Amino acid sequence: MDHPQQHQGGAKALLKRYLQGNASPEEKEQVEYWYSTLHNPAQSPLSPEERAILQQSILQHITRQTAPVRPLYRRKWLRYAAAVALMAGLGGWMYSHYQPAHPMIVQTGVGSTRQIVLPDSSIVTLNAGTTLQLTAHFGQHDRKVILDGEAFFVVHPDAAHPFSVQHGQLTTTVLGTAFNIRSRPGEENTKVAVASGKVQVATARENYILEGNETLQYNSLNGLAVKGHEDTALIGQWQHAMLDFNGYTLTGMVAELQRQYPVRIQLYATPADTAHYNISFRREDIHNILDVLAGLTGITYKHENEQIIIYTKTYAH
């Protein structure tokens, strides 16, 4: 095998071409050989500095790359998960063998989603305005992550290392399944929805077992939990560029719109505005959405000082 410096730009440039799909067959073979020896320095042709470059590049590629959300066909999440795993390719395999020694944090901004492959090959898609933290030495004793926001998980089975998600006051534990969690600071309700498999949701009062098509709504104010059912085609449908305002108040809808669109919104409401609505939108121009909400809820809105001002029906202005 060639030494990496024989390639233009060295190991880092070659790895970049490989991850972008621009490497030649010979270069692909070279990188795959490096991967196979990366954790065995005695066999690796790379210097310590070059091995560090490879490890850092892999970590950055997996945790920082923002992937556009691809449309999902109804009831085809398994095919989607397999395709994602295939697209992750060797880069995902390499990261699955690399346990971070320190907590790792992945975040998404306004209007953006991100798809990452965890060290155990589980796949997580983060909705806008979401933070996911992996504990140090993830996968060595357990697989624990901390979620602040909304994410869809496709968990790789590993009975010896249960996968758990801490979100607010709850902890959801699984062995191998696909599920969606929505748990945002300031929101009254947390929701866990299972697309397939089985999870356990631990609250302060009780543990709940959820299977495919089942949901759990937990109210953080009174500690009440309610089980329900939901079509698997609707679970995690924000990945389809959908906005699902199921059980939302006007305040909740406005907060979600600000996460999904780079706009400032000021809502003027009264204590009487407690109604909950069930409505879904394609992710389209925000003014189209506001026009529909005006007809549904009676709100009015205007543009002023580079922001959108919304008045509820009960607010006198």
Q: How far apart are CA 191 and CA 170, in angstroms?
A: 10
Burial category of 149 from C-beta neighbours within 10 Å (exposed 0-12, middle 13-18, buried 19 and up): buried
Q: How far apart are CA 113 and CA 117, in angstroms?
A: 14
| Domain contains 143 | yes
51 and 173 share a domain? Answer: no
Written as tens digits, the pLDDT of the chain (317 aa) is: 444 444 445 666 776 676 666 777 777 667 666 655 554 555 556 665 565 555 555 544 444 443 444 433 333 444 444 444 333 333 333 444 445 567 889 999 999 999 998 988 899 999 999 999 998 888 888 899 999 999 999 999 988 899 999 999 999 999 778 999 999 988 888 999 999 999 999 998 899 999 999 999 999 889 999 999 999 888 999 998 999 888 889 999 999 999 999 999 999 999 999 898 988 898 899 999 999 999 989 999 999 988 999 999 998 76
Spatial CA neighbour of 153 closest among 181, 128, 129 = 181
115 and 216 share a domain? Answer: yes
Tell me the CA distances in angstroms from 299 to 51, 266, 277, 314, one per residue in order.
58, 12, 13, 9
Listed residues 207, 234, 261: the one ending a domain: 234
| Domain contains 146 | yes
pTM of the model: 0.68
| Domain contains 199 | yes
| Domain contains 317 | no
Q: How many CB atoms lie within 10 A of CB 53?
A: 18
87 and 196 share a domain? Answer: yes
| Domain contains 316 | no
131 and 230 share a domain? Answer: yes
18 and 110 share a domain? Answer: no
Q: Angle between the 77-96 and 48-64 helix axes, to the nearest 10 degrees?
A: 160
Listed residues 32, 48, 64: the one ending a domain: 64
84 and 203 share a domain? Answer: yes
Q: How far apart are CA 76 and CA 18, in angstroms?
A: 29
Q: Output the domain CATH number for residue 196.
A: 2.60.120.1440
223 and 281 share a domain? Answer: no
Tell me the CA distances in angstroms from 290 to 60, 273, 295, 297, 300, one per residue in order.
38, 17, 9, 10, 9
- So what's the pLDDT on residue 287? 93
| Domain contains 188 | yes
| Domain contains 87 | yes
199 and 96 share a domain? Answer: yes
Which pairs count as long-range contacts for 72-75, CB under 8 Å and 24+ apart, including other chains? 72/239, 72/240, 74/233, 75/232, 75/233
75 and 107 share a domain? Answer: yes
160 and 301 share a domain? Answer: no
Domain that holds residue 104: 66-234
Count of the separate structural domains present in the chain: 3
203 and 250 share a domain? Answer: no
Q: Output the domain CATH number for residue 288.
A: 3.55.50.30
Overall size of the chain counted in residues: 317
Listed residues 35, 64, 93: the one ending a domain: 64
- So what's the pLDDT on residue 259? 94
Element of type H or E holding 56: helix 48-64
59 and 70 share a domain? Answer: no
For residue 15, give both structure tokens. 């790895």
